[in-house]
Amino acid sequence: MTETPRPTDSHLHDVLQQIANEAQDLFGRGEVANYIPALAEVPARRFGMALAMVDGSSYTVGDAHTPFSLQSITKLFTFVLALKAVGEDLWTRVGREPSGAAFNSMVQLESERGIPRNPFINAGALVVTDILTSRYAHMDLAMLGALRRLTDDPALTWNVRIAKSERDTAHRNMALAYFMKSYGNFHNPPELVLDNYCRQCATEMTCTQLAQATMFLANGGVDLAKGSQPGEHVLSADAARRVNALMLTCGAYDASGDFAYRIGLPIKTGVGGGIVAIAPGRGTISVWSPELDAKGNSVLGAFALERLVQLTGWNHD
């Protein structure tokens, strides 16, 4: 707990502390992602959490200032960037239904002839990256610029070693890209798109940065970042609501229904152990803990969010 809470917010301070204490008991129940060596090196027993409120206040506990690998959480940002770039035309190339299958399955892609189910599974995020690769001379740098603006941190970057390690082992994602190309739903060379995709996945943020970067989704599309003009819109209020709806139905791979049932807030998870959640009209919550459950979501992160909504009622109207 590092920010200076205003007196009236001492409740949230206590809530975060209580959650952090309770969460300790869950260490050891999951496993750190090991599909690429560089990710597997992260210490397992880490836990950080940050709140950013629409009134500008913020709260943290634990390792909230340690950068971690965003991984699939970046799918949220690329999706927003593509939505701004091409608008609702996006939906001719990707669906918006929950996948009902593992995040990198080929089966559904085959039965639906190369149209991925939603932008938050790998195939969908690859199509989104393909769209952005067509749009920007250097899509990786355009993405980074957007994230730097949202976090107000000009030093934000991707981890070169993790990006390279992911690229070297991206066989399945290459298969997905070529498969969609065989259906005509991929316009750039898969090799190039995968370069961009692996860089974006390797972007690192702290919990506090992640909570700040997603503030526009809790705040009717309006950014609060210091570098922004006051009241600057990232998205329209309606578009922000729609992004939240997609996070609610598709944000946690094949555990999205379970997250909606237990937690009831729009979220996006990543195999780096991060989760970001949106409490519309209230604020954003980010949590990081590297141990993952069988569906690839952070064990302590899911617990922390479930406790937060129990203690605050933020999932009730």
d(CA 129, CA 183): 17
269 belongs to the binding site for a copy of itself (CB under 8 A): no
If one asks whether residue 248 binds a copy of itself (CB under 8 A), the answer comes out as yes
Looking at beta carbons only, is 77 or 179 nearer to a copy of itself? Answer: 179
> Alpha-carbon distance 186 to 233, whole Å?
30
Pattern 152-171, binding to a copy of itself, x per CB under 8 A? Answer: -------------------x
Cα 146 to chain centroid, rounded: 14
Q: From the CA atom positions of the chain, what is the Rg in Å? A: 18
Structure tokens belonging to residue 135: 């749009």
Q: Pick the closer one to a copy of itself by CB: 148 or 242.
A: 242
In the chain, the amino acid numbered 146 is A
- Beta-strand relationship, 274-279 and 283-288: antiparallel
3-class secondary-structure state, position 247 = helix
122 annotated binding-site participant = yes
Q: Which residues contact 202 (CB under 8 A, 6 or more apart)?
A: 69, 71, 158, 159, 160, 162, 163, 166
Place of tokens 């200032």: 65
Considering only 13, 187, 233, 242, the residue that binds a copy of itself (CB under 8 A) is 242
Q: Are 266 and 217 in contact (CB under 8 A)?
A: yes
Q: How far is the CB of 42 from a copy of itself (least distance, A)?
A: 23
Q: How far is the CB of 280 from a copy of itself (least distance, A)?
A: 4
Token pair 């709140």 in the structure block, residue: 51
Per-residue contact string for residues 83-122; x = within reach of a copy of itself by CB under 8 A = ------------xxxxxxx---xxxxxx------xx----
Q: Look up residue 184 and give its amino acid.
A: G
Binding mask 195-234 for a copy of itself (x = CB under 8 A): -------------------------x--------------
Is 261 near a copy of itself (CB under 8 A)?
yes
Whole-angstrom distance, CA of residue 125 vs CA of residue 214? 18
| Residues designated catalytic | 72, 75, 197, 253, 271
Contacting residues toward a copy of itself, per CB under 8 A: 95-101, 105-110, 117-118, 171-172, 174-179, 181-182, 186, 190, 220, 237-238, 241-242, 245-246, 248-250, 254-258, 260-262, 264, 280-281, 315-317
> Annotated binding site for substrate: which residue ranges?
72, 122, 166, 173, 197, 253, 271
